[in-house]
């Protein structure tokens, strides 16, 4: 499960506000032990407003890109549940550098004065291997 998190770099972030779900495609990077996932957003976005109201999130990370056509049933999907918070001042530089190393195209986005770094503290993983084999693990 942690290998999928480490090997991936794009996820779908699900937030909710007022009972309405909202999904966003996000670039991310994780810390070494996969206990936290970092991403960047703008403070005036729907997702950021949702997170201010309800910090609980769900992420979807999958391997479908490498499993097209007849190999599609071999794709793996990982649902990651956690709680979001903004990155504190002490860790901002480190997280920013981690994101830019993996996603250099985010520099202009991250340099915007409205950008906010997010930390998702992982609470559980639900792993789907193929169509029917699933495993749940609390972090």
At 136 the pLDDT is 86
Determine the structural domain holding residue 86 and report its residue range.
2-138
Q: Residue 59: which of 70, 51, 69, 71 has the closest Cα?
A: 51
pLDDT (tens, 9 = 90+) of the chain, 139 residues, equals: 899 999 999 999 999 999 999 999 999 999 999 999 999 999 999 999 999 999 999 999 998 765 455 555 577 899 999 999 999 999 999 999 999 999 999 999 999 999 999 999 999 999 988 777 888 889 7
Predicted pLDDT of residue 73: 58
| Rounded Cα gap, residues 26 and 38, in angstroms | 10
Distance separating the N- and C-terminal Cα atoms of the chain: 11
Q: Return the pLDDT at 113.
A: 96
E-assigned strand segments in the chain: 10-17, 20-27, 29-30, 36-42, 56-62, 76-86, 115-129, 133-138
Question: Kindly report the CA angle at 63 between 8 and 47, in degrees rounded to 5?
Answer: 60
Cβ(87)–Cβ(117) under 8 Å? yes
CB-based contact 122:80 (threshold 8 Å): yes
* CA-CA-CA-CA torsion sign (108, 40, 79, 14): negative
Q: Domain count of the chain?
A: 1
Report the phi/psi class of residue 18: left, alpha or beta, with left for phi > 0 and alpha for psi in -120 to 50: left
pLDDT for residue 129: 87
For residue 22, what is the domain's CATH number? 2.30.110.10
Residues in the chain: 139
């Amino acid at each position: 499960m942690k290998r999928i998190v480490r090997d991936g770099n794009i996820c779908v972030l699900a937030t909710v506000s007022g009972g309405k779900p909202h999904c966003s495609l996000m670039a991310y990077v994780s810390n070494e032990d996969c206990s936290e996932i970092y991403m960047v957003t703008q403070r005036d976005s729907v997702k950021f407003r949702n997170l201010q109201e309800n910090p609980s999130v769900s992420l979807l990370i999958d391997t479908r890109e490498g499993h097209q056509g007849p190999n599609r049933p071999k794709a793996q999907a990982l649902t990651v549940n956690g709680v979001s918070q903004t990155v504190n001042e002490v860790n901002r530089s480190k997280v920013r550098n981690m994101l830019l190393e993996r996603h250099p195209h985010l520099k202009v986005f991250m340099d915007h004065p409205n950008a906010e770094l997010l930390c998702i503290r992982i609470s559980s993983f639900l792993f789907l291997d193929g169509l029917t084999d699933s495993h749940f693990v609390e972090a």
